[in-house]
Amino acid sequence: MSQADNWFTIAPFFAALGQKLMFQKIPSQPPSTPLLDGIADPDDLRGLEEQQLRQLAYELREYLLYSVGQTGGHFGAGLGVVELTIALHYIYNTPEDRLVWDVGHQCYPHKILTGRRERMNTMRKAGGLAGFPKREESPFDTFGVGHSSTSISAALGMAIAARQQGIDRRTVAVIGDGAMTAGMAFEAITHASHTGANMLVVLNDNQMSISKNTGGLNTYFSKIWASKTYNQIRSGGKSVLEKFPGPAKDIAARLEEYMKGMVSPATLFEELGFNYIGPIDGHDLDVLVPTLRNLRELDGPQMLHIMTKKGKGFAPAEKDPVGFHAISKIEADTPAASKKPATPVSKPKYQDIFGQWLCDQAEACDKLVGITPAMCEGSGMVAFSERYAERFYDVAIAEQHAVTLAAGMACDGLKPVVAIYSTFLQRAYDQLIHDVALQNLDVTFGIDRAGLVGEDGPTHAGAFDLSFLRCIPNMVVMAPADENETRQMLHTAYHYPGPAAVRYPRGTGPGVIPATEMATLEIGKGRKIREGGEVAILSFGTLLTAAQEAGEKLNASVADMRFVKPLDTELIDQLAATHSLIVTVEENVIAGGAGSAVTEYLHQRGVNVAVLQLGLPDTFVDHGNHLTLLSQLGLDAEGIAQSIQQQLQS
């Protein structure tokens, strides 16, 4: 029988195997996972035979599908690193060896293999597992993450700490190609080269930004370059060549460089001081495991470049990796579990309000440009990016660059709008101060994810923006109470000839239909919306509905303050003169927030009136349902009313 005949004989087998490995639906019942059932921690995993790992990957992927289907949460990233997670825990002696995940969207398989399988049903719920690695949760979570591009710096710090203390341990950072766009990642890489620390950086490339090299020759050379033999020859050859004249040494170095350059994008990382290996198939355990085994024994900074697919093994997620980045819980009576679960919402999200305004404003002004360091989809900018592609700039994960880019544009006649999450703006604070505000440049900031963000927890909660924005000279800071105010305030910020920010929360609002026409609000002017007795409630932002309900219950006056900076001092004076208790309400930390601005003003004026500040406490608020968290913190209508009553009785 010829080789060709042989192939046609076994082809159906491989086709059937491919079908088996590709899931079409999310299981509604716990799947059969005999291998996975026997793994309580990575020690059990390391007791398996290497040939069993492929079956384990199949079981782990199926269980992951079931688990996230029950709770909702991050989805595609975890599916893409199933094989990598198994291989890392199989080769490295975790948790003694340090494993640092970047961002952490991909950490669910890691949590399942590290003793938390039975708690996966609590994922992202109050008191349950966090959606990201968290040091307090497990010794296997060596570094708490949620934001991008921190892993290499943290892992390098751990590697240096081990060396300084004479501890023989290995350190691994796993970072995606998207996270590699941040300057911090390159700062860490250059420092790692300088220190010569023993660490491995796994570049998990899901084919979104770095070109893919394919072919057997590439895989073959990757195996060679990761092997002890090659590296012994390499280091030995260098010591021999040191004794030879310069030309011989140069020729050998160039030969190695040219060999790698033919089959891989090695040059950049080699020039930065890393021994680069790859790219290799990150789903092929037969290549991944021996490569990691070899790399674990090497000294100095190592870079392993693997190619993976986000959503791997689940057909709908492979087809739509952006849509399946995260999913909602699949209800038991949902027949089509293969479709992306979505809860129909009649009300638009705040990010959609922003996106519609951006398109409308762009139509009216050809100087408008849109910039985001977040996902286009997550910022509500899809329509704008399609209609005004030449005016849309997605700078990837590069928050500092986004802000200074806007500053440069504003210097030369454009009117930039920066769509940025509250916690992402924290990373560009110096640029906001030094490059925008100091020069009083005309830059508009649409600050999304302000306040608590529910299930994503403290890493993503926009709890501090009112505090860190209002202390910056030249800034105008607005906090809309509803959808229409969001639209009008964005229009106002855009036409203000200096830096202005509008902060709005994740999700939907109270359901106020935005007016089609756009009107410029008077800067620093709020509005009184209820006349009451001895108590005046000053609401900043989207807690206005709760403040109104509390006002009705207590017969209190209620004001929608609108502006955090500048304050409506005229309205504050009026309310302070006619009420015995001023209550400030905000979904921001009390420390330094809008309420603090009110008390500072009253103190400066020498006004003797009692003030009660309600807002987020001086602690990091853990993950959980957003409305439940607000209730627990006393920031719903009942809690606001209760706090006021207690103050009046004291």
Instruction: Please state, in angstroms and rounded to a whole number, the distance separating the CA atoms of residues 192 and 343.
Output: 46
The yes-or-no answer on residue 399 being catalytic is yes
Q: Is the peptide bond before 458 cis (omega within 30 degrees of 0)?
A: no
Nearest alpha carbon to residue 499 among 404, 426, 591: 404
Helix (H, G, I), strand (E, B) or coil at 528: strand
CB contact set of 223 (below 8 Å; sequence gap of 6+): 287, 290, 291
Nearest alpha carbon to residue 99 among 110, 113, 109, 112: 110
CB contact set of 143 (below 8 Å; sequence gap of 6+): 100, 101, 133, 135, 150, 151, 154, 155, 158
The yes-or-no answer on residue 257 being catalytic is no
The yes-or-no answer on residue 20 being catalytic is no
Catalytic residue among 59, 62, 399, 485: 399
Helix (H, G, I), strand (E, B) or coil at 49: coil
β-strand pairing of 476-478 with 563-565: antiparallel
Instruction: Please state, in angstroms and rounded to a whole number, the distance separating the CA atoms of residues 327 and 336.
Output: 14
Instruction: Please state, in angstroms and rounded to a whole number, the distance separating the CA atoms of residues 559 and 474.
Output: 25
Catalytic residue among 116, 427, 487, 565: 427
Chain-centre distance of CA 415, in angstroms? 27
- The separation between the first and the last C-alpha atoms of the chain, rounded to the nearest angstrom, is 95
Query: How many CA within 13 A on the CB side of residue 578?
Result: 14
Instruction: Please state, in angstroms and rounded to a whole number, the distance separating the CA atoms of residues 490 and 519.
Output: 10
Q: What is the DSSP string of 233-255?
A: HHHHHHHHHTTS-HHHHHHHHHH
- Whole-angstrom CA distances from 403 to 92, 200, 418, 437, 504 are 40, 32, 7, 11, 19
- Answer for the pair 629, 458: CB distance below 8 angstroms, yes or no: no
Catalytic residue among 310, 470, 503, 562: 310
Phi then psi for residue 639, to 5 deg, are -65, -40
Instruction: Give the alpha-carbon dihedral of 618, 620, 626, 627, to 10 degrees.
Output: -30
Residue 225 burial (CB count, 10 A) = 22
What is the number of helices (H) and of strands (E) in the chain? 27, 19
* Residues recognised as catalytic: 310, 399, 427
